[in-house]
Structure 1
Amino acid sequence: MKPVVPWNNLPTDLLEAVGKRLKTKTDVSRFRAICRSWRSSVLPFDQKQPRFPIRIMMKFPFPVNCFFLTITEDTVYHLVPPPNINSDDSASTSSTRGWVVRLREGESGEPSMLHPLSSSFHIKRLPKSVFPKLINLLEFRVFELAKTYTMYHSDHSVSSYRVAISLSPDWPAIMVVAAGKLYHCKLGPDIEMCTRVDITSEVFEDVICFEGKFYAVCHNGTAVVVDPSLEMTLIASPISPDHGSSVHCIKNLVQSLGEIILVERYPSRMKQRRLFPVKFRVYKLNAVERKWVEMEGLDGRILCVENLYSFSVPAGDFPGCQRSCIYFSDPYFPGLFIRKKI
């Protein structure tokens, strides 16, 4: 049997190989905090991108005017406390499994906490018995789950426009879905003017950045991919409508386990004094056959769906949550809701 090499004496080439696979600031910081040899093998995280919030300009043909929008970047984290925290507090059993939080760094560098599934709800105070006043990152395990982006108008109101951002050094760019149209601008330190990408009559609903390209979906399910040359290519045909519902559904694109997922949400509504609850249909992109394939289950995923953004987490990382569920917020009914499977 070969002798075991101490973790602080691993070969430099192995440490460098691991370091090249670290994609987030959180992972790089945790890796470099292990010991001196690990810290010297990987440089500090350097994203070389403009600091958020950033401002862009948009111009619509009707009415003919320009206006500014502010884009903020938030990071969704999973904070896992040490095993012994709150162990004697039965009221905080769920907190021992950790928390999902969304943090936004202000212009002064001070972070603020937001609800993970609300683009406008800021968390001012949490019960001390549930959430610790001070989080020691040397004790807590911190996992970065997602980046979310929100747009604000000049009066600080939340915009309904969808936005996706490419942080790739090869194509730093912003893509916006506004009034059903697709707009693009460069991501840089200056205020950029967004220009329309599509010249079609399609009505776009959502856009995400996936593997260095932008993917956008239309109201009928048609999906396109936009490359750095701004050329649009069809990647999915329209989806057959749900004949059991005459209500327009909301579409969200989600990057999940290396795949692109489409979530259709038919909103809750009142009809003849009856409440019709939210209904979901979920599809997986088959890029080879250029179509959406409806999923019967979520294959161990948990989908988190907000009107303006969505993200996915493996159910195995959250033992306190129901598996194969969709966690979502409803703009008409305040609170957090769960839809079992689909």
Structure 2
Amino acid sequence: MSRWTDLPKELLETISKCLDFRVDVLRFRSVCTSWRSSVPFPSFDEDIPPLILKLPMPIGVDAVLSQATICRMEFSRQSKNSSSSESKPKAWLTKIGETKLGKLKFFHPLSNSQVRYSPIMLNLLDFRFFVLSKAFMLKSLSGFYLFGINKVLLFPSSARYSEHELSILAIYHEGKLGYWKYGDESWTLLDDKNFQYDDIIEYKGQFYVVDRWGTVSWIDSSLKLIQYSPPLFGCGSQKNLVESCGDLYVVDRYLDGDRRTWNDYENLDVRRLSFSFRRRRYRMCSPKAIAFRIHKLDEEWGTWVDVKSLGDRAFVLGVDCSFSISSTDFLGGKGNCVYFTDDDDVKGKGLKSDSIFLFRLEDHIIEKVTTLPEYSDVFWPPKIFSA
């Protein structure tokens, strides 16, 4: 029987084409010299071409689409002093951006802010990367978050695409749901009557959107909205869609003040006003989260179920991606909670150590994660919240 290092080059090339994420290709190339020589280095252009997107009004700016991968990064080599019966693996939650010259750029999973220790030189053979989700964000050419863009996804979803195939769904101006294809001179509004959409998610290969009343709609291939759920009643002010263990959830966020609406953008001329002025105007209204409720969709009966406990699961509400994790998969962290940050704490000025909060379902208490090391140690790099 031939050794793994003696596999034919043609077979290695076939295997590498099945790897959609750059970090998987990097680990593949790290196995040995023959594997490395048979597969080309994954450049940034292979996944997300650095296209300049001339976004039409009402955004009206040049931008680039940034992609990152949410991963569980597990240390695969056991320490000599560690016991094989240890209950939790040495694993952390991280977000990985573009790769360059064998280095990985790490970002905090709740924002698009690069952690201060990166880029970090790692021996990729010492770690396993388990992909949890993908995240997309539109940025200005100078790298800043685009104010007014709340959420963006590729439509349809694809790990690789060419210039003429790039198209996106976006929630912008605090509630408008739009579609834009590369080269289009205007946005296509998917709903010209409802400007109160909060979140989009890809769920079971389809795209779903939720509005501020908790009504979930399915977006079909022709961009038609089809109501998928009834609205929620007694609602909070902001909704996030989260998929967990095959089920769809709505996380309802209660705020201590009024949110912005699309009216706040109607009289802004983005071509004439300075970036700093738009940023100050954007931050005029900054309500904070004071409570959460979680609802699970019973697809069989078409009703919402009020969730009292998430068990060992934790929901992570990021600025560009929301997802669920199992606390048993990580060295630090506990379940039955929601990690979140108030939007204005991360948009435009980066993530601060005291900007991340945790809501515990068991006692309905919100605390800063900096005060809870048993929860904060879930993030990479370890002790990221230390001074």
Q: TM-score, normalised by structure 1?
A: 0.70
In the other structure, the counterpart of 2:168 is 174
What is the one-letter code of the residue matched to 1:251?
K
| Cα gap change, 1:74 to 1:255, in 2 (>3 Å) | same
Which residue of structure 1 aligns with residue 348 of structure 2?
Answer: none
Mapping for residues 18-97 of structure 1, pairs under 5 Å? 24-27=21-24, 50-52=48-50, 55-60=53-58, 66-84=60-78, 97=90
Any stretches of 5+ residues in structure 1 without a counterpart?
10-14, 89-94, 127-131, 243-247, 270-275
Q: Distance in 2 between matches of 1:43 and 1:227?
A: 37
Structure 1's 231 and 277: CA in aligned 2 closer, same or farther, altered over 3 A? Answer: closer
RMSD: 4.4
- The question of 1:122 aligning with 2:122 is answered no
Higher strand share: 1
- Aligned runs of 1:212-251 on 2, under 5 Å? 212-242=205-235, 249-251=237-239
Q: 1:124 is aligned with what amino acid? A: R
Query: In the alignment, is the contact (CA less than 8 A) between 1:261 and 1:284 conserved in 2?
Result: yes
1:162 alignment partner AA = K
Given the superposition, is the C-alpha separation of residues 108 and 133 from structure 1 closer, same or farther in structure 2, using an over 3 Å criterion?
closer
Q: 2:199 is aligned with what amino acid?
A: D
AA in 2 matched with 1:282:
I
Between the aligned residues of both structures, percent identity stands at: 27
Which residue matches 2:297? Answer: 285
Report the alpha carbon displacement of residue 310 of structure 1 after superposing the two structures with TM: 1.3
* Aligned counterparts of 1:214 and 1:56: Cα–Cα separation in 2: 24
What amino acid sits opposite 1:149 in the alignment?
F
Q: CA deviation at 1:231?
A: 1.7
Aligned counterpart for 1:264 among listed residues 252, 259, 262 = 252
Asked if structure 1 preserves the Cα contact closer than 8 Å seen for 2:253 and 2:291, the reply is yes
Letter in 2 for 1:151: L
- Kindly indicate whether the alpha-carbon contact (under 8 Å) linking 1:209 and 1:215 is maintained by their aligned counterparts in 2: yes
Query: Residue 265 of structure 1: CA displacement?
Result: 1.5
The corresponding residue for 2:321 is 309
How far apart, in 2, do the equivalents of 1:84 and 1:107 lie? 28
1:324 to 2:324 alignment: no
Contact 1:58 1:69 in 2 (8 A): no
1:184-199 pair list within 5 angstroms: 184-186=179-181, 193-199=186-192
What is the CA distance between 1:234 and its match in structure 2? 0.3
Match of 2:360 in 1: 340
Which runs of 5 or more residues in structure 2 are unaligned?
6-11, 83-87, 258-287, 346-353, 363-387
Partner SS, residue 138 of structure 1: helix
Residue type matched to 2:133 in 1?
Answer: A
Partners of 1:262 and 1:304 in 2: how far apart? 12
CA distance in 2, matches of 1:7, 1:259: 42
Which residue of structure 1 aligns with residue 138 of structure 2?
151
AA at the equivalent of 1:74: A
